[in-house]
Amino acid sequence: MNDSSRTQGGLICIGVVIVGAWFLLGLLQGSYWALAIPVAILVFFALGLTFWVGYTIATIQVEPYQDSEPEPPPPPAPAADESDSAPRGSV
């Protein structure tokens, strides 16, 4: 992990503390917007996620299943030898 990752993590933590304090201040003042804005963000996030799942399902390209190994060819027919066609017992 490098220093830029640690810096970004620290900035995220500071941002969360600031937004949390702002939210708490809004709640203590009895502001309607302190609840309405986070709820609206969550609702739109859930709707966007649901739309993305539906879009992904609707537009997926499915290829028919194919066996990874083709069937082996049938064994070759036995070749007719000249020795097989000669009558047996005659010398």
Q: What is the pLDDT of residues 8-25, one digit of tens each?
A: 999 999 999 999 999 999
> Among positive and negative, which fits the CA dihedral 20, 24, 29, 32?
positive
Instruction: Locate all alpha helices (DSSP H) within 1-91, ordered by sequence.
Output: 3-28, 33-59, 82-85
User: pTM above the 0.75 mark?
Assistant: no
pLDDT tens per residue across span 21-39: 999 999 999 989 989 999 9
Are the beta carbons of 31 and 38 closer than 8 angstroms? Answer: no
- Residues 47, 55: Cα–Cα separation, whole Å: 12
